[in-house]
Amino acid sequence: DGGITQSPKYLFRKEGQNVTLSCEQNLNHDAMYWYRQDPGQGLRLIYYSQIVNDFQKGDIAEGYSVSREKKESFPLTVTSAQKNPTAFYLCASSIWAEGGQPQHFGDGTRLSIL
Partner 1 sequence: DQQVKQNSPSLSVQEGRISILNCDYTNSMFDYFLWYKKYPAEGPTFLISISSIKDKNEDGRFTVLNKSAKHLSLHIVPSQPGDSAVYFCAASGVLNFGNEKLTFGTGTRLTIIP
Q: Could you give the CA distance from residue 74 to residue 2 in angstroms, rounded to a whole number?
A: 16
E strands, the chain, in order: 4-7, 10-13, 19-25, 31-37, 43-51, 54-57, 64-66, 76-78, 87-94, 104-105, 109-113
Specify the length of the chain in residues.
114
Q: Which of 52, 60, 71, 110 binds partner 1 (CB under 8 A)?
A: 110
Binding to partner 1 by residue 74, rule CB under 8 A?
no
Q: Is 71 exposed, middle or buried (0-12, 13-18, 19+ CB in 10 A)?
A: middle
In the bound state with partner 1, the residue whose beta carbon lies nearer, of 33 and 82, is 33
Which range, of 13-21, 36-44, 61-69, 70-78, touches partner 1 by CB under 8 A? 36-44
In the bound state with partner 1, the residue whose beta carbon lies nearer, of 6 and 82, is 6
In the bound state with partner 1, the residue whose beta carbon lies nearer, of 18 and 56, is 56
> Rule CB under 8 A: which residues touch partner 1?
4, 6, 9, 31, 35, 40-45, 48, 50, 56, 58, 90, 92, 96-97, 99-108, 110
